[in-house]
Amino acid sequence: MASSAPKRDVHNPLLFEAAWEVANKVGGIYTVIKTKAPVTHQEYGDRYTLIGPLSYKTAPMEVEALEPEDPLLKQTLDSMRDAGVKFLYGRWLIERAPRVLLFDTSSMYHRMDEWKGDLWNLASIPTPQHDHETNETLVFGYLVAWFLGEFSSRERKRAIIAHFHEWQAGLAIPLCRKRHIDVTTIFTTHATLLGRYLCAGSVDFYNNLQYFDVDHEAGKRGIYHRYCVERAAAHCADVFTTVSHITAYESEHLLKRKPDGVLPNGLNVVKFSAMHEFQNLHAVSKAKINEFVKGHFYGHYDFDLDNTLYFFTAGRYEYRNKGVDMFIESLARLNYKLQKSGSKTTVVAFIIMPAATNSYTIEALKGQAVTKQLRDTVEQIQARVGERLFEKMARYQGESGSDVIDPATLLSDADKIALKKRIFALKRNSLPPVVTHNMQDDDNDPILNQIRRVQLFNRTSDRVKVIFHPEFLNANNPILGLDYEEFVRGCHLGVFPSYYEPWGYTPAECTVMGVPSITTNLSGFGCFMEDTIERGEDYGIYIVDRRMKSVEDSVNQLADQMFTFSQKTRRQRINQRNRTERLSELLDWKRLGLEYAKARQLALCRAYPDSFDEDDTIDSYFDDIHHDGKMPPPLSMPGSPRFGSGARTPGEFGTLTEELQGLSTSDYRGHQQFWKTMSQHGSDDEEEAYRYPLVIKSRQRGTSVGSMSGASTPGLGGGKFLSSADLDRADAALSNHSGAPNGNGNNHLFHYHLSYRLRLASPISHDVRRAVRRSITNLLHQYPQILGQKMRSHNFARAVLRSAARSDASSQQQIARSASLNLFPQRAAFQNGLRSAVVTAGSSTLRTFSSSSVGLKKKSKKNAFAAVEDDMLSEEQHQDDDFAQEEDDDLFGGVSDVSNAASGSSTGTTTASMSRVEFTKALEDYRASLEWESIDRGQFPSLSRWRNLAGHASDKEEFEALLELAKMYRDRVGSLGVESGSRFASRASKKRLPEVALNAFLDRYAYGLEYDLESLLVVQEGLARKLGRRNRDEILASAEIEGAPVQESDLLGVVPSENGANEKGAEEDGKAQAIKPRHELDMPLARAQLSIIDRMSILASLSSTLSSSSASSPTSQLDPFLISYLTQAYIRTFRLVSDRRRTATNPLTQILARTDKLVSLLTLSAQRILSSPSTASAVSPAQRSAILGRNLSTTLSYVAIRGQDKFKDPLSGQKLDPVRTLYRFMDRVDREKSNALVRKVEPLLQTYSSL
């Protein structure tokens, strides 16, 4: 049928460009679209239309409404209006006024559920109910596809190109492909969704890019549905593009399709163009910055402004992604270099990043005020002196031997007094402030904390001064009254050492304004400049290597570049600014817009190959517009930038034919070395090396979409399978098991096996502290080298621990504590090596404690500690293996499992359904495989088989069998867990090990409860997925949960209280009986969870028994640990159910209330122990520090989960601030000795961990 259709005119096509930020400023894509639109309109004229969502807030200021002139377009819009669609058609009020079409998504909300079902049936992409951004994206995508389908059915003569930017607009692409709409599509991603989330999570992104399980990582972060949309758009588009080479490499691994080319972002250079005036503008803007600096440093203004350089960094507050951590560290090293070289140059470094503030600081306002008063006074005196001088000279008679004028008579006594007042007002005793605003969270601000660590306090001896301005600049600012453009022109150097920057407009803006800048080869702009010009530093483009160098080497390279720049003379800087400004032509849309034109032509070639002659290739199409891209040589040396041969940008679309035919004219040769290096950094036995760009075969218009779920690669994107060696490396590199649901918890929360060993530490002497500090310092010095040797990190960590343990076993415990507190979050492989080594350290600690115990028989000691150690080590090994298997799946079945269940496919394999006989046999096999003896020892089987069975269950009887097995298993866990824990605790207490026994039991019991809850969740999710709400309600209503049938009162929010009476969850006015909860089917599960928590009352009696039976463990010492572990058990339960839907009557409110109470008791117990004189003598300084550290860790973890930091005192009802309380008492404990290690070691650890 396609062959019988008439050919479309591909030489005068229509272009529709869709983006979320058309006439709707949200982020950087608005700048891309707005500045590129005039160039595109110049090429297409009225055949060019932009499509976006309608924002009633901004549209009146951005768009002028018009009636469509094209009759076919008018018919299409009238048809959609008759169907209830609201829209705004008009001209965008920017240069050349291109046409825009904005759809009101709210007008079609009533069809959202229908479209969600259609998307699931079409592509198996799930859409959560409460994700507002995804809902808006879905409606907008369906409206765009609706419009393109209607319009293409009417317009049969001309070809139609649809260009989509980012995933918010890309949903229409798979819809157009599935509906066979006759349009050719282009998809441009400006940054991958998953890439942003992974980098924000402080992972080693680029070194592990090829190892990420993208479905698992997206599901773990709650963006799986968005990722599916982005991936479907990339695979279904005729042409897939990115904005930079580094983003192309990222997209190939995360989106599983190699981009067809790169479309660099440009700028409207005319806006920034100042021709020969830009040097004068620099002088004018610099004078304004000088005025601010004089006021800010009043009283300490002792440096020469003519010999002062202004460096700056600016952007969103992304501390790591924007490279602020590296910038500050390099400033400290630059300060040292300038001091050591005896340089008179002063560097003032500005950090312009918006943060939460309250107001301007008094010192900042006062500095500007007193300097203004001084200037006003000087100007007044200057006017009076001028009048006196004129009068003197007018009266001068020229007497012989007399002076023309006596200078002492020019200043009156009043003038001298006024000057003295202003001079004394300038004096101050404090140092100039580092930050210009009062920060809302000064103590936890990452930028301020690093400035404190490197001690850049603006001292007189510092050659580098730092000013943090936590607000975007504007001319109305009372302190620094400059617009951003003026400020940039007045500075000497922009520094942007970004770690994740798909393009980077800030260094590009510096370039077009003639300001040199420093960027990295991990930013799109840095890659573009590195491939476009040679010796970029001669043109003011400094590029830091953050890809192939270690962190230490990159920091040193940045410091060296800044130092080299600071040593330039004024004439050299002027010449460099001239050459920098000359590069602006490279970034003009008039040049880079050609790449978009080539992408559109490539899309037409692929969509309508029959419409092109053999000689009508992409290269011939551009023969008439392909100008020589080389700039004329500058008058000053060195020469002008060198461009690649025969091309305007590396990897452009014009090279696709050259690559395909193997021609020597391809300009991509220079850049292939970069990708070769990138691929070599991965596995040596990969099936194929990365060859970019890959020429993809022309697609057939009638091919179906195929599966769109993230579990399989849609369209033509046949994924690359990893070998077993790759998978082993991935396990080693990413096995950072946190033990929290979905793997996104605070990693130090559940390291029970680490934390309870640490409390066996004896008081640490000064010599041991010094040895620990030296060992950790040596470890951190080796840290950058370890990054390149991930596979050897395990052995290295063991060696460090063994060397640190030669003086005292406490050294092991301190380093183990560093690992348990997750001080190395960026490097999972290194942390995994530490954790493995800590197992050995913990075992050695137990043996050391055992050998030093007094009063124990040798055989009893051996048996007691053997039981403790064997249980802990076997449990730890099982937990690690279990988490390694379970973390590959989403905790609650996940949308990936939902997609696989519906489509019958999974990654790499196809899952066949089970018959009733096969299911029954599998269930019986699993029942027989349960080892109750292992459960008695605290070991629990994996839930992977649970999920497999739940995925194959298909009717009510099979789910009832699953629920029965779950109930039997829960009963077994409850009874055996309590019995074994009590028996073990009793045995250990007689051996004077009450603390170890309590902690070991709590660890085993809490893990059993977690497994109990998770098995409930798996079964319930299976019920919801397979049977629907009604059948699930019947099964849960008839099932016995915790031995009691579910009553109607359970569904109304009435739950048993601790004293046996009934109480309301949150409806105390008596209305709960008459109101049915919105999510009633979640109530039985929540009630089961609450009853499980109620069983923890035995732990309180257990602690009482232990404390009374052991004279060596006073109650005051045991209580904080007990409360801390109880609190963590509550937190663990809360994390399992925190993602479930809650209402005011849900029993989860009881869980939260009880956890609040425990946290309050935690604070009070710490106060009692640390402030009471009677207990102070019974608790050693090391034990008090351990108590505080444990309680503080638990409290901070719960504060992060709960979202609040103040709780009520359960006795007095007053509000408590547990975090501040614990910090305050921690400062009082052995202040001179305990804080020494914190002051010297912790800053070093945090500095390197942040890098």
Q: In whole angstroms, give the CA distance from residue 90 to residue 496.
A: 39
Strand, coil or helix: what is 638? coil
What is residue 1159's three-state secondary structure?
helix
**Same domain assignment for residues 426 and 537:** no
Which range, of 80-94, 591-605, 1203-1217, averages the lowest pLDDT? 1203-1217
Q: Are residues 191 and 219 in the same domain?
A: yes
Report the pLDDT value the prediction gives residue 1203, as an integer from 0 to 100: 53
Task: Return the minimum-mean-pLDDT range out of 84-98, 295-309, 402-416.
Answer: 402-416
The phi and psi torsions of 312 (rounded to 5 degrees) equal -155, 155
- What are phi and psi for residue 1192, nearest 5 degrees? -65, -40
- Determine the structural domain holding residue 1237 and report its residue range: 1135-1250
Inform me whether the pLDDT recorded for 749 exceeds 50.
Answer: no
Q: Is 493 helix (H, G, I), strand (E, B) or coil?
A: strand
More confident residue, 407 or 510: 510
Asked if 326 and 218 sit in the same domain, the reply is no
Beta-carbon contacts of residue 1006 (< 8 Å; ≥ 6 apart): 752, 1125, 1128, 1129, 1132
Residues whose CB is less than 8 angstroms from the CB of residue 715 and which lie 6 or more positions away in sequence, other chains included: 177, 235, 236, 257, 699, 703, 705, 706
| Other Cβ atoms closer than 10 A to 614 | 5
- Dist CA 43 CA 562 (whole Å): 43
Residues 450 and 468 in one domain: yes
Q: Mean pLDDT throughout 466-484?
A: 93
Task: Quote the CA–CA distance of 128 and 131 in Å, as a whole number.
Answer: 6
CA distance 995 to 756: 8
Q: What is the pLDDT of residue 1068?
A: 36
Residue finishing a domain among 237, 262, 287: 262
Flag whether pLDDT at 986 surpasses 60. Answer: no
Per-residue confidence (pLDDT) for residue 920, from 0 to 100 = 79
Question: In this structure, are residues 1013 and 1092 in contact, taking their beta carbons and an 8 Å threshold?
Answer: yes
Q: How far apart are the C-alpha atoms of 870 and 1004, rounded to whole Å?
A: 13
* Cβ atoms of residues 949 and 920 within 8 Å: no
- For residue 1000, is pLDDT > 70? no
User: What CATH number did the domain enclosing 325 receive?
Assistant: 3.40.50.2000
Cβ contacts of 807 within 8 Å, gap of 6 or more? 767, 768, 771
Q: Which of 550, 569, 586 is the last residue of a domain?
A: 586
Environment class of 1016 (CB within 10 Å of its CB; exposed 0-12, middle 13-18, buried 19+): buried
Q: Reply yes or no: is the peptide bond before residue 1056 cis, omega within 30 of 0.
A: no
Q: Which residue has the tokens 């005068």?
A: 12
* Amino acid in the structure at residue 566: S
- Three-state secondary structure call for residue 439: strand
498 Cβ contact partners less than 8 Å away, ≥ 6 residues apart: 321, 322, 323, 504, 519, 520, 522, 523
DSSP 1189-1230: HHHHHHHHHHHHHHS---EE-TTT--EE-HHHHHHHHHHHTT
Question: Residue 1175 — φ and ψ, nearest 5°?
Answer: -95, -15
Average pLDDT of the chain to the nearest whole number: 67
Residues 1225 and 1244 in one domain: yes
Domain-located, residue 239: yes
Structure tokens at 767: 């010599």
- Please tell me the predicted confidence (pLDDT) of residue 85: 97
CB 753 within 8 A of CB 1003: yes
Domain co-membership, 99 together with 196: yes
**Cα(800)–Cα(777) distance, integer angstroms:** 11
What six digits make up the tokens of 674? 């970069």
222 and 130 in a common domain: yes
Report, as an integer, the average pLDDT of 130-145: 95
Same domain, 418 and 536: no
- Number of compact structural domains in the chain: 4
| Residue 185 neighbours by CB under 8 Å, 6+ apart | 161, 162, 163, 164, 173, 176, 177, 236, 237, 238, 239, 603
Q: Are residues 195 and 242 in the same domain?
A: yes
- Residue 237, φ and ψ in degrees, nearest 5: -70, 145
Strand partners, 1208: 1215
Query: 575-613, pLDDT tens digit by residue?
Result: 999 999 989 989 999 999 999 999 999 999 999 988 887
> Of residues 929 and 621, which shows the higher confidence score?
929
In DSSP notation, 126-189 reads ---TT-HHHHHHHHHHHHHHHHHHHHHHH--SEEEEEEEEHHHHHTHHHHHHHTT-S-EEEEEE
Long-range interactions of 1021-1026: CB distance < 8 A, separation 24+? 1021/892, 1021/893, 1021/950, 1022/893, 1022/950, 1022/951, 1022/953, 1022/959, 1022/962, 1023/959, 1024/1081, 1025/893, 1025/898, 1025/901, 1026/953, 1026/954, 1026/959
Q: Residues 209, 326: one domain? A: no
The domain boundary, picked from 586, 619, 649, lies at: 586
Contacts of 218 (CB under 8 A, 6+ apart): 193, 194, 224, 226, 227, 710
Q: 39-43, 441-445, 495-499, 1089-1093: lowest mean pLDDT where? A: 1089-1093
Alpha carbon distance 268, 963 (integer Å)? 65
- Residue 881 domain-assigned (yes or no): no
Instruction: Name the residue with higher pLDDT: 1127 or 660.
Output: 1127
Would you say residue 373 lies in a domain? yes
Structure tokens at 763: 């008081």
Residue 566's pLDDT is what?
A: 96
Tokens of 562: 């800044």
Please report how the helices 224-236 and 193-200 are oriented relative to each other, as an axis angle in degrees rounded to 10: 140
Cis preceding linkage at 693, omega within 30: yes
Q: What is the mean pLDDT of residues 563-573?
A: 95
Domain assignment present for 50: yes
Which positions ≥6 away from 1249 have C-beta within 8 Å?
823, 824, 825, 826
- Type of residue at 970: R
Predicted confidence at residue 513, as pLDDT, reads: 92
Is residue 931 very low, low, confident or very high in pLDDT (cuts 50, 70, 90)? low
* Least confidently predicted of 268-282, 836-850, 981-995, 1211-1225: 836-850
Instruction: Measure Cα distances from 822 to 750, 1190, 1250 in Å.
Output: 11, 14, 12
- State both tokens at 1081: 């089917």
Helix (H) or strand (E) holding 552: helix 551-566
Q: Which of 312-316, 374-378, 810-814, 910-914 has the highest mean pLDDT?
A: 312-316
∠ at Cα 251 (247, 255), nearest 5°? 160
Q: What is the DSSP string of 687-740?
A: SS---SS--PPPPPTT------STTS--TT--PPPPPHHHHHHHHHHH-----S
Residue whose structure tokens are 């559109």 = 600
436-460 pLDDT, tens digit each: 999 999 999 999 999 999 999 999 9
Would you say residue 648 lies in a domain? Answer: no
pLDDT, greater one: 45 or 201: 45
Is 876 part of any domain?
Answer: no
Q: E strand or H helix at 284, and its extent?
A: helix 278-296
Structural domain includes residue 605: no
Kindly state whether residue 388 falls inside one of the protein's structural domains: yes
DSSP 8-state class, residue 12: E
Q: DSSP of 494-550, one letter per residue? A: EE---SSBSS-HHHHHHHHTT--EEEETTBHHHHHHHHH-SSGGGGTEEEE--SSS-
Lowest mean pLDDT among 206-215, 420-429, 596-605, 1038-1047: 1038-1047
State the CB neighbour count (10 A cutoff) for residue 1047: 12
Mean pLDDT value of segment 378-400? 83
Verify that 186 and 318 share a domain, yes or no.
no
pLDDT grade, residue 38 (50/70/90)?
very high
For residues 158 and 828, which has the higher predicted lDDT (pLDDT)? 158
Is the pLDDT reported for residue 63 higher than 60? yes
Do 241 and 135 share a structural domain? yes
The predicted model gives 6-25 an average pLDDT of 92
